[in-house]
């Protein structure tokens, strides 16, 4: 259970760092200037990825608790 808590904290910190990086960078990966619409799309894509990770994490937590 201790490993699960540490991995949960790791994913939360990784998500926050990723969000901050995507929000404050000047250009996106293709070199286009980053405006608010591009920032929102990038954050939505990152959010969708972490939502998938969160669902798997919850399933694993449920199986550990049993």
For residue 2, what pLDDT band results from cuts at 50, 70 and 90? confident
Alpha carbon distance 39, 18 (integer Å): 12
Full-prediction pTM beyond 0.85?
A: no
Residue 42 structural domain: 2-65
Q: Is 5 exposed, middle or buried (0-12, 13-18, 19+ CB in 10 A)?
A: exposed
Beta bridge partners of 27: 33
Domain count along the chain: 1
61 vs 7, 24, 45, 55, 65, CA distance in Å? Answer: 11, 33, 24, 10, 6
Q: What mean pLDDT value characterizes the chain? A: 87
């Amino acid at each position: 259970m201790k490993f699960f808590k540490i991995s949960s904290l790791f994913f939360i910190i990784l998500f926050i760092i990723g969000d901050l990086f995507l929000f404050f960078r000047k250009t996106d990966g293709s070199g286009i200037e980053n405006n608010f619409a591009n920032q929102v799309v990038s954050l939505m894509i990152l959010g969708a990825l972490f939502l998938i990770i969160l669902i798997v994490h919850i399933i694993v937590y449920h199986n550990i608790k049993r």
